Chains A and B, each alone.
Chain A
Amino acid sequence: MLAACATGPGVEGASGGGIAPGPDTASNGPAAESVAANTGPVAPYPIKNPLTATVLGTPDKLKAKLPEDAPITVRQIEPLIARDTPSTLRYARPLNYMFTPQAKPAPLAFVIAGTGSSALSSKCVLLSRALYAAGYSVACLPSPTAVTFMLGAAEHPVPGRMPTDVADLYRLMHAVRDDAASQIDITGYGLTGWSLGATEAAFVARHDATAADADERFDFSRVVLLNPAVSVWDSVGRMDALLDKSLPGGITQVPEFLAKGLGGLKNVYAKNESLRFNEDFLYKAYESGAADQDDIGALIGLAFRLSLANMAFAADVLSHSDVIVPEDVDLGPYDDLGVYFQRSFSMTFDDYIEQLLVPYWNRDGRSVPKAELIREADLHSIAAFLAADDDMRVFTSADDPILGDSEVAFLRDTFGERARVRPNGGHMGNLSYQKTIAALQDYFAP
């Protein structure tokens, strides 16, 4: 669980965001090294196992060194959707984005967060620093799967239908641009996103290119998709399968799994009196053999499940779907959520589709077949656009566990020279690696 906290898409560790992002989020190196310093000879990304890479990320000494003086702030905007806030979700009320302004006229880069992540995610901090160093003002936006987005920006509060999620994102981007324009002089636009946010970025770029009102277009001059899902529902299906395989007892096995993990940590910890909890600790725990492959797989699966649990609970409450919280239960702000947590956490992605997404899109006069919902959230459906858009790049790893081999091949074929596919790195394990960040900055350089 602790490892998942540090890197998974679920609980964001402790760092980043807020008023004073911690120095450990993106780099522990000396402040204000130039971008050029990142491009010297660098050891290759060291972790060959994709699941391990996904959990452990990049060792400190191979992380990109980024300026720590980037003026990262968090700005609030008015909700874009008029909706009563259920008191159990009121913590998520302010609609935030992470804003890093340049003092001089500069292009604005939008970053779309990955599954379940808010705009305060540590990856927002990392990418804001990287793109700020490359000369951009940066606005990092919450994922449509984040509770705060569902509450304040989603027309339909059951995320997962790509066209409506993208329309919501597009509306949010305009609101953010209007808000940011009072602070900065914007000379153009870039766009990126990671994981699900990368898939969404591709659809946003297409939405923009085909927008009816030319004045409303951003005309992104640079778009980078970082470890996108190709077929969103195939990818989440892989996460379900990973958890099934690595935790055969399913969710009921979680207490036992955590106990075993904690027992392993306890051994590592007891042998090293001066050891403290940080990323090095995770490496030490891993090296000491406290975790085997199945454990790592289970951690990733559980981290995704936690994101899903958050989203499913909020979707159920907001749409009165009567799947997790009974219709006649009105949860107060201080009510114990234990039973609802268990119910949400035991949902698979497949359950979410069957019990929440599909029913929502087939009630109150709406009628969208399941097959269409699945097809809409697949990059194959916009392959022609992706193949033709010279301003778009994709960065991924051949061993990314959310992708199948045919999907990696699809990205290679569709993007051709514009695909940067590394052999190792897992799912964003190499995101903060020097060469990844340098490639991103090189491409974004105005």
Chain B
Amino acid sequence: MNTRRYLAILLISALVIGVLGLGGCASTPPPSTVDPNTPASVPADQTTANPLAIDDPLSPLNRRIYRFNALTDRYVLLPAVHIYDTVAPEPVRDGIGNFFSNLGEINTFANSVLQLKAKSAGVTASRFVINSTVGLAGFFDPATHIGLNQRDEDFGQTLGHYGAGTGPYLVLPFFGPSNMRDAGGIAVDQGLFYVIDPLQINGNLPASAAYNVFFALNKREQTNFRYYQTGSPFEYLLVRMVYQNYRALKVAQ
């Protein structure tokens, strides 16, 4: 077990260094959505101000993964979610949603601390304690009822907070729209979760499998996006634009 944790930490460190390396010019933070091919003569405020200029050198690969995700969604995920919706009544699904949301507070807390956001860290810690106890292991969310609204921080945002650029746009298999920075962020957040192992399921194959299946079902159920629902031939471009700008807003928060 120790060896595996050690390996996980090594992997995380490598990723962190790699991602920070990508945003190497951290002293002059690159705008999150700027094409590096923008001519130097364009004033900086205008480059940062172009939300449509998105760096996507991997577009051919990204578009293939986008389609792969759409097909996976249609033939695997949505049918599975449909069964989940049929079998589990809404209060149960809400409880499961709360449960995963509560576990997510660990990453939000860690990243709030990393960004020195005291209030966010405090609220998140309080939420976690209250919901894990009074909320019966997170299946209920009494914290929100007493006015402790949920925050949302992840390692991608932490990197952005310290000025790391997004790097090229990426579409990840299963995870969907992302970018180099946020993909690294996901790996770090997952790694942290693995290291902490709050459910003590590391090494327990059936438990890990069950965790991952329910995690995926819950995540998909709560995501309102449907592939090709925009009806637009340009959906890939639109999703890319919305994702990159949405993340820029989250980093600014």
Residues of chain B contacted by A309 (CB below 8 angstroms): 232, 234
Is there contact, CB below 8 Å, between A269 and B52? no
Interface of chain A residues 20 through 77 with chain B (CB within 8 A): 20, 22, 24
Is there contact, CB below 8 Å, between B67 and A333? yes
Among the stretches A99-107, A112-120, A177-185, A421-429, the one at the interface with B is A112-120
A140 in contact (CB, < 8 A): no
Interface of chain A residues 117 through 168 with chain B (CB within 8 A): 117-118, 120, 142, 146-148
A190 in contact (CB, < 8 A): no
Is there contact, CB below 8 Å, between A1 and B242? yes
User: Nearest-CB distance from B171 to chain A (Å)?
Assistant: 12
Is there contact, CB below 8 Å, between A265 and B49? no
Is there contact, CB below 8 Å, between B238 and A269? no
A383 in contact (CB, < 8 A): no
A273 in contact (CB, < 8 A): yes
Contacts A89-B233, A255-B52, A259-B50 hold; do A17 and B226 have CB atoms under 8 A apart?
Answer: yes
B129 in contact (CB, < 8 A): no
Among the stretches B99-107, B147-155, B192-200, the one at the interface with A is B147-155
Is there contact, CB below 8 Å, between B221 and A20? yes
Residues of chain A contacted by B82 (CB below 8 angstroms): 19-20
Contact of B252 among A19, A88, A266 (CB under 8 A): A266
Bound complex: CA of A120 vs CA of B249, how far in Å?
A: 28
Bound complex: CA of A356 vs CA of B228, how far in Å?
A: 25
Among the stretches A208-216, A334-342, A389-397, the one at the interface with B is A334-342
A91 in contact (CB, < 8 A): yes
Residues of chain A contacted by B241 (CB below 8 angstroms): 1
B53 in contact (CB, < 8 A): yes
Bound complex: CA of A95 vs CA of B86, how far in Å?
A: 26
Is there contact, CB below 8 Å, between A262 and B249? yes
Bound complex: CA of A77 vs CA of B235, how far in Å?
A: 23
Among the stretches A8-16, A234-242, A399-407, A434-442, the one at the interface with B is A8-16
B231 in contact (CB, < 8 A): yes
Interface of chain B residues 211 through 244 with chain A (CB within 8 A): 221, 223-238, 241-242
Bound complex: CA of A1 vs CA of B9, how far in Å?
A: 40
Residues of chain A contacted by B227 (CB below 8 angstroms): 91
A310 in contact (CB, < 8 A): yes
B132 in contact (CB, < 8 A): no
Is there contact, CB below 8 Å, between B237 and A337? yes
Contact of A273 among B64, B231, B253 (CB under 8 A): B253
Residues of chain B contacted by A91 (CB below 8 angstroms): 70, 227-228, 233, 235
Is there contact, CB below 8 Å, between B231 and A310? yes
Is there contact, CB below 8 Å, between B252 and A341? no
Bound complex: CA of A22 vs CA of B225, how far in Å?
A: 10
Residues of chain B contacted by A275 (CB below 8 angstroms): 253
Residues of chain B contacted by A273 (CB below 8 angstroms): 117, 119-120, 151, 253
Is there contact, CB below 8 Å, between B81 and A92? no
B248 in contact (CB, < 8 A): yes
Is there contact, CB below 8 Å, between B224 and A118? no
User: Nearest-CB distance from A194 to chain B (Å)?
Assistant: 16
B203 in contact (CB, < 8 A): no
Contacts A148-B231, A259-B50 hold; do A22 and B224 have CB atoms under 8 A apart?
Answer: yes
User: Nearest-CB distance from A34 to chain B (Å)?
Assistant: 20
A109 in contact (CB, < 8 A): no
Residues of chain B contacted by A314 (CB below 8 angstroms): 233
User: Nearest-CB distance from B183 to chain A (Å)?
Assistant: 20
Q: Which residue of B lies closest to A74 (CB)?
A: B226
Bound complex: CA of A313 vs CA of B233, how far in Å?
A: 8
Is there contact, CB below 8 Å, between B53 and A266? no
Is there contact, CB below 8 Å, between B237 and A338? yes
User: Nearest-CB distance from B60 to chain A (Å)?
Assistant: 6
Interface of chain A residues 253 through 289 with chain B (CB within 8 A): 254-256, 258-260, 262-263, 265-266, 269-270, 273-277
B190 in contact (CB, < 8 A): no
Bound complex: CA of A269 vs CA of B120, how far in Å?
A: 14
Is there contact, CB below 8 Å, between A12 and B53? no
Bound complex: CA of A310 vs CA of B238, how far in Å?
A: 12
Interface string of B45-63 (1 = CB under 8 A from A): 0001111110000011001
Contacts A20-B82, A277-B246 hold; do A11 and B238 have CB atoms under 8 A apart?
Answer: yes
A353 in contact (CB, < 8 A): no
Residues of chain A contacted by B249 (CB below 8 angstroms): 262, 265-266, 269
Binding site for B on A (CB under 8 A): 1-2, 5, 10-20, 22, 24, 88-89, 91-92, 116-118, 120, 142, 146-148, 254-256, 258-260, 262-263, 265-266, 269-270, 273-277, 306, 309-310, 313-314, 333-334, 336-338, 341, 344
A to B CB contacts below 8 Å, 10 in the list: A11-B230, A11-B232, A19-B85, A146-B231, A273-B117, A277-B246, A309-B234, A310-B231, A310-B232, A337-B237
5 nearest A-B residue pairs (beta carbon): A259-B49, A274-B149, A14-B224, A334-B63, A118-B231
Binding site for A on B (CB under 8 A): 48-53, 59-60, 63-64, 67, 70, 78-79, 81-82, 85, 117, 119-120, 123, 149-152, 221, 223-238, 241-242, 245-246, 248-250, 252-253
Other A-B pairs beyond A11-B238, A14-B225, A20-B85, 6, CB < 8 Å: A10-B232, A16-B224, A19-B82, A147-B232, A254-B52, A266-B249
